[in-house]
Structure formats: C-alpha cells, structure tokens
Amino acid sequence: MDFNFFNIKKNAEKFQSFFLDLIFPIECLGCGREGAWLCSACFKAINLKPEQYCLNCKKPNDFGQFCPPCRINYDLDGVWIAALYDDRLVARAIKSLKYYFVSSLAGDLSKLLISFVDTLLEQARIVRPELAAGLAWRSFRKIQGLPSALLNFKGNLIVPVPLSKKRLRWRGFNQAEILARTFVGHYGREMNGRDLVRLKHKKPQAKLSEAERLYNLKDCFVWRGADLGKRNIILIDDVVTTGATLNECAKVLKANGAGEVWGLVVAKG
Ligand SMILES: [Zn+2]
Ligand SMILES: [Zn+2]
C-alpha cells in the first residue's frame, strides 16, 4: 500500500517536473540564457567570500574560527562561508535549490563549496611550513587558528545537517545532503548522512531572537552512531544565520567523541 503510494507519488513528481519544464524552460538565474540554471559565465562571475571571520563578533581571521573570547559560548570550532549572500545570484540559487528542487543547482553550489575549500587548503598549506620555521610571533598568531581539520583533511567525516523525518517527507529531499554528496564525491571523503538525526523542527528560526534560537534547538538532534573517536567533522548546510543549528549539532557530535567540528556553508543568510 505504502509502496504503491510512493510510486504513484514519484510518477506524479516526474510528470510535474516534465510539465514544468515544458512551460518554464530552464533559464540561467543570472542572465536568463536558456539551457542551464546557472550558466558557466555567471558561475565564473560569482566571487568566493574573500575573508573569513569569527561568526560571533565578525572579527576577521584566516580560518573562520571562533576567537578565544567568543569560543566559550560555542561547541562548534568555526564556520567556513564560501560565498556572499549579497551576491544576488547566490541568494537566488540557494532559494531555488531549497524551494523548487533543482538538482543541477546543487551541483553548482557544491562546486562553489569545492573551490572555496581548495583555497582554504591552499592557505593552510602556506601557513604550515611556518610551523617548522620556528615560531616567530606573527606566524604563531596565524598558526593558532590553523584547524587540524584542514591539516588532516583526509581524516574528516562529512555530515550534512539533517532534516526531521516529517520535514523530509514534506520537502522530499534534504538540500544539505545533496550538497554534501557532491562534495564527498569530489574529494573522495567519507560521509555519514544517517546517524545524526534531527528529532524535531520547532518554530521557523527566522522568527526568533538569538537567545530564543539557542533554546529552541535544545535536544533537537541526537547521534545514533558509534563513538566518533576524536574524528574531525565537517558539517555541511546551505546557509548559516547565527550558527545556532550548526552549534547544536556540534554539541551532540562532541558529546559522542568528535574532535573538531566545523561548519561549511554556501553563504551566510
Ligand atoms: Zn548566466
Ligand atoms: Zn569572536
């Protein structure tokens, strides 16, 4: 019964997307050219975020880590933000991915994550030799922020921020998981999209104050997997606002043995 219903639903979705393509041909969200949601010219014109900062106080730094005074309030080590949401095209692409499932957009947005992480890794590579060159005060200051998740990138476990079962059923897909899958495919890392479980979605976060957001998310996530044995985690999501969701995931992951936990998102909303 359930199975049949699923098939009918799936076929209806296929028919619907065929029908929508017929009346709304695929056009670039940037320039309107037909054929792709994000044409290669518009994709190339998107700027990666030039500077990372502490998400809490916005003080610029090299790796998006929380600075020491802000750290106290977070379990998350920091957040890597790939592009600027002020970029009209980035904002439109994220909204289109989330609300009108367009899988090719997930591919494009993952490409943004990938080129961004490549620059982070390059930066880490440049900073690393300074470790060996003796600790001049300047390099020491730099190295303090150098995440072990970047130094040992191969060791990371990639975890998409989950949706609750109910929300997943309603939306039909988890955009964070699609982003994570492409990311993992590119770097050949390991992904776990199963064991971090979101039990509930309460009121939409956007309507709440910052303090309410933290309370709102309390006990929303559980880790159902084995002990993480100090493994570093990269949590992937489409956007970050205050970081409350990422931080709640980090809290649960660290309670289950995770080492560093970093957020990686397309943009800050
Ligand atoms: Zn275009
Ligand atoms: Zn700070």
The rounded distance, in Å, linking the Cα atoms of 269 and 265 is: 10
Cβ neighbours, 10 Å, residue 46: 20
The answer, yes or no, to whether residue 213 has pLDDT greater than 80, is: no
Tell me the ligand closest to 58's alpha carbon: 2
Mean local confidence (pLDDT), 137-166: 81
Distances (CA, A) of 150 to 9, 124, 175: 42, 7, 24
- b/e code 58-86 from CB counts within 10 Å (16+ = b): eeebbbbbbbeebeeebbbbbbbbbbbbe
Residue with token string 């056009």: 27
Q: State the distance from the centre of ligand 1 to the C-alpha of 38, rounded, in angstroms.
A: 6
Q: What is the mean pLDDT of the chain?
A: 84
For 19-78, write each residue's pLDDT tens digit.
555 566 788 889 999 888 888 899 988 988 888 999 999 999 989 999 999 999 999 999
Q: State the distance from the centre of ligand 1 to the C-alpha of 93, rounded, in angstroms.
A: 12
Mean local confidence (pLDDT), 93-105: 78
Q: State the distance from the centre of ligand 1 to the C-alpha of 28, rounded, in angstroms.
A: 5
Mean local confidence (pLDDT), 74-87: 91
The answer, yes or no, to whether residue 88 has pLDDT greater than 70, is: yes
Q: State the distance from the centre of ligand 1 to the C-alpha of 36, rounded, in angstroms.
A: 8
The answer, yes or no, to whether residue 140 has pLDDT greater than 70, is: no
Residue type present at position 40: S
Q: What is the pLDDT of residue 171?
A: 79
The angle, 0 to 180 degrees and rounded to 10, between the axes of the packed helices 175-187 and 88-99 is 110
Enclosing H/E stretch for 39 = none
Tell me the ligand closest to 68's alpha carbon: 2
Higher pLDDT, 129 or 111: 111
Sequence ranges of the domains in the chain: 1-45, 49-268
Mean local confidence (pLDDT), 239-250: 94
Q: State the distance from the centre of ligand 1 to the C-alpha of 33, rounded, in angstroms.
A: 6
Cβ neighbours, 10 Å, residue 176: 23
Q: Which of 20-24, 201-205, 239-243 has the lowest mean pLDDT?
A: 20-24
Please list the alpha-helical segments (H only) found in 128-261: 129-132, 137-143, 148-151, 165-171, 175-187, 210-216, 244-255
